[in-house]
Amino acid sequence: MPGKYESMLNKLTLEEKASLCSGLDFWHTKPIKRLGIPPIMVADGPHGLRKQIEQSEQVSVTDCLPATCFPTGSCLASSWDTDLLSTVGSALGEECKAAQVSVLLGPAVNIKRSPLCGRNFEYYSEDPFLSSALATSYINGLQSNGVGACVKHFAANNQEFHRFTVDARITERALREIYLASFERAIRQAKPWTVMSAYNKVNGIYASEHPFLLNDMLRGEWGFSGLVMTDWGANHDRVAGIVVGEDLEMPGNEGLNDQKIVQAVQQGILEEKDLDHVVRRILRLVDRACENLDQDATYDQKAHHQLAKEVASQCMVLLKNQGEVLPLDPAKHVLVVGPFANSPRYQGGGSSHIIPTKVSDAFSSMQHLGSVSYKQGFSIESELCDTTLEQEVLEGVEQAETIVVFAGLPDEWESEAYDREHLRLPENQNELIRKLAAVHPNVVVVLSNGAPVELPWLRNVKGVLEAYLAGQAGGEAVADILYGIVNPSGKLAETFPRRVEDIPSYLEPQRRGDTVFYTEDVFVGYRYYTSRKMPVLFPFGFGLSYTRFSIEMLSCSHSACTERDVVTVQVRVKNCGDCEGREVVQIYITPPRGKVSNPCLQLRGFQKVSLKQGATEIITFVLDRNDFSYFDEELKQWVVEEGDFHIRIGNSSDNLSVSHKISMHQSSENIALFTLDSMVSQLLTHPKGKALLQPAFDLLPFDLTGESGKMMWEMVKAMPVRHLVTWSHGEFSESMAGELLEALNTRV
C-alpha cells in the first residue's frame, strides 16, 4: 500500500517535484504546504545527537541542545561487541525521538586507510568485516525506535585534506573487498533509511553522481531502496545526480539547483520518470518519519549517562600491564598527573561535536575509590616543556605507590576538515613520562586520543590503558578499570604502527594534490603488516585482561570441500584466570597462493563472550563461499581458488593459537578462469594444469632439464598461453590451446 504522502506524487507539479529534491535549510526537508506534505528534521551524529538550536542563524557546533555524548566510533569499535552497539543505537534513537529528529546522520563507516586521517575518531575500523558488523547492530538499534540511520560517507572518503575535490583512484577489487565492503553488510542486512554520498571523487567521478557506486552497487547488487542524500555541500552536477539516484541535496540551496532540474526536464535532458523515482523515495522517507513521530517522547538523562559509562568501560583497551601493576590497590597512594585527568578530552572536533548533558573526570572519580593526589605536570596549550610543572611532579613521586599519567592529543590535533601530520604525542608529554619512568618503578599511562599514536617511552612504563575518546562518562569508566571494578575487555579495531613511515599508504602521500592512488590496494592495515611480517607497536585485535583465557579447537566440519560447502568451526574458550572477564574470539582465513596476491590474514568472524572464573563456552563460526572468495577483476566476479586455506582462531591477529587446514577443490560450476592471455604459471595452479600442459612443453625448443633448465622453466611459466603456439612453431596449435583451456575452465 502506498503511504499517505507517496500517494501525492501525481498531484505534484514539476516545480514542486524539483523543490523536494533539496533541503529547506540546513536540517529540514522542504514541505509542500498546498498538499500538506510537512518537513522532517535530520541531525548530526554519530555518537550523540547534535541538534542545532533552531533559532540559530549560522552553522554552529556549540549552539546545540544538550545530549548524551557516547564514546566516539574508534572507541565503540574497540568493544568488538555487536550487542553493545545495538544498545547505543537504541539509546540514540530515544534521544532523537524526544528531540523530534527523524534521521540521525550516522553511523560513519569509512575504512581507516591511514591513521593520519583527521576524522578517524568517528570511524570504526581498518577492517571492513568488523566495521560493517558493528554498523549493522548500531542501525538496527537506532531504527528499532523509529528513527532512521544515515550510513556515511559513501564511499572512499578516507582523508580530510582536499576532501571536497580529491580523486581516490582505486582498483575495483580494493573497492569491493575493502572500501565498499565496510558498507555492504550493514546496508543489505540492516536496511538503513538513508545513505549519505561523499564529497570526493572515485576514479574520476564525484560520489554524488557516480553510476557504479549509486546505481550498479548500492541500488543494483545490494538492492537498497531507501533514500540517498548528499553530504552537506557535496552536490556537483545536480541533474547527473538525479539520473543515478542521488535523491536529496543537503543543505538547501534557495532553489538554485531545483531550477536546473526543471529546465533539464523541459529541455528533454532529464526524463521526468527519473525525477519521479527520486521524489517517490523522498515522499517515502517523509511518510515513514511522520508515522514514527511522538510529541510526548522523552528519555532519562541520568540513565543514559550511566549507560555511557558502562559502554566506555567495555571499550577501553589495556595495552600493557607489566608485573600486574593494574588494578590499583585502593589502600595505596596514587599520584595522578596531567590536565586530561580533570579536564577530560572525550570527543573529537567537527560536525560530531556534542554538547553533553554531564561530564565526569577521572581524577574526581578516582578520589571516590582510593587515595589519590594530583599534579598538572604539563600544559596542553603548548608542546614546550614547563620545568616548573615538571619539578612539582618529580619532587613528590616517592610518596606514591603508582603514578598514573593522563596523556593524549590536544583537541585541535584531531578534527574534521584536516589530517594529522604525524603520529607523535606532544613532546612535553613524552618528556615528562620519560623522566617519571626514570625515577619511579610503577608508571601507568592513560591515553586520550582518537587514533593511533607513537609511544617512544613504552618500554619504560609498567602499564598503558588506551581510553580513546570515551564520551562524557569516560572519566568514571577509566577509574573503574584502573581500580579493577571493571575488567578491561576492549580490543584494538586498528593497528598501532611503530612509526608513520610504516603505514601502507605512506609512499602515496596525502599532500600530493587532488589525485590519490591507493597503491596498497587490498593491503590495508593488518592485512599489510601481517603479509609483510612487519613488527608493529600493537596489532589489530589486541587487548589485555586482568584474567587469562585459553582457546582450543573442538571441530571443523571439513578438511576438504568445494566452494559450495558451508564450513562449521567450533572452539572452546575457557577463563583460566582469577576473575570474571570478557574475551573476543576472532577467526581469520589465510588463502592459498594463487592467481592474485592475497593478504595472509583476513578477519571472517568474531564473538565476545563473558566468562566467570573457570567457566568455559563453546563458540561456533560458520563460513561460506563469501568468506573464501576474492574479486577477480578480469572475470568481474567473485572467485574461490583451489588450494589449501588455513583457518586461524585466537584473540588477536598476532595470537592465533589454533588452526585448521581445508583443501578447497573446484565445484562443477563452469567459470572461464583461463584465456589465451593467461600465464602458464596461472594454469599450473589448476590441479590438472601440469598434466594437460605437458604435451605443449614437449614441443617447445627449450631444454627444461639441462644446465639452464631453471632459467628456461621460469621463462616458460611467465609466458601467455598464446606464446606456446608461437614458440612451438604451430605444432602446439591454436585449436590444441583452445581444447586445453576448455578442459581447465570446466570444473569437474
> What is residue 661's three-state secondary structure?
strand
What are 616's strand-pairing partners?
A: 574
Does 231 qualify as catalytic in the annotation?
yes
- Angle among Cα 413, 66, 97 to the nearest 5 degrees reads 115
Burial of 164 (0-12, 13-18, 19+ CB in 10 A): middle
Cα 322 to Cα 332: distance, rounded to the nearest angstrom: 18
Per-residue b or e along 328-339, where b marks 16 or more CB atoms closer than 10 Å to that residue's CB:
beeeeebbbbbb
SS3 3: coil
User: To which residue does cell 582505486 refer?
Assistant: 170
Residue owning grid cell 585482561? 545
Listing from the earlier edge strand, what are the strands of the sheet with 567-575?
549-556, 567-575, 616-623
Residue 368 to residue 217: CA distance in whole angstroms: 54
Are the beta carbons of 704 and 716 closer than 8 angstroms?
A: yes
Burial of 592 (0-12, 13-18, 19+ CB in 10 A): middle
Neighbour-count burial for 531-555, b at 16+ CB within 10 Å, e otherwise: beeeebbbbbbbbbbbbebebeeee
As a whole number of angstroms, the longest Cα–Cα distance in the chain is: 90
With beta carbons less than 8 A apart as the criterion, state whether 618 and 566 touch. Answer: no
Cell of 230: 548528499
Q: What are the E-state strand segments in 510-642?
A: 515-517, 549-556, 560-562, 567-575, 581-590, 602-611, 616-623, 630-632, 637-639
| Interatomic CA distance for residues 388 and 324, integer angstroms | 32
CA gap 461, 323 in Å, rounded: 11
Identity of the amino acid at 572 = R
Active-site annotation holder among 167, 231, 419, 565:
231
- Please answer whether residues 94 and 570 qualify as being in contact, where contact means their C-beta atoms are separated by less than 8 angstroms: no
Cα 184-186-190 angle, rounded to 5 deg: 135
Helix (H, G, I), strand (E, B) or coil at 660: strand
426 three-state secondary structure: coil
How far, CA to CA in Å, does 446 sit from each of 187, 318, 546?
36, 9, 16
- Give the list of residues 6+ apart from residue 136 with CB closer than 8 angstroms, or none: 82, 185, 186, 189, 190
All three cell numbers of 85, joined, read 552497539
Q: What is the 3-state secondary structure (H, E, C) of 346-363?
A: CCCECCCCCCECCCCCHH
Residues present in the chain in total? 748
Which residues lie below 8 Å from residue 347, measured CB to CB, with a gap of 6+? 47, 48, 69, 72, 121, 353, 354, 469, 471
Q: What is the SS3 assignment for 459?
A: helix
- Name the DSSP class of 207: G
Task: Please check whether residue 462 is in contact with residue 443, taking contact to mean a CB–CB distance below 8 angstroms.
Answer: yes
- Cα separation, 724 vs 584, in Å, equals 52
* N-terminal to C-terminal alpha carbon distance within the chain: 48
Q: Active-site residues: which are they?
A: 231
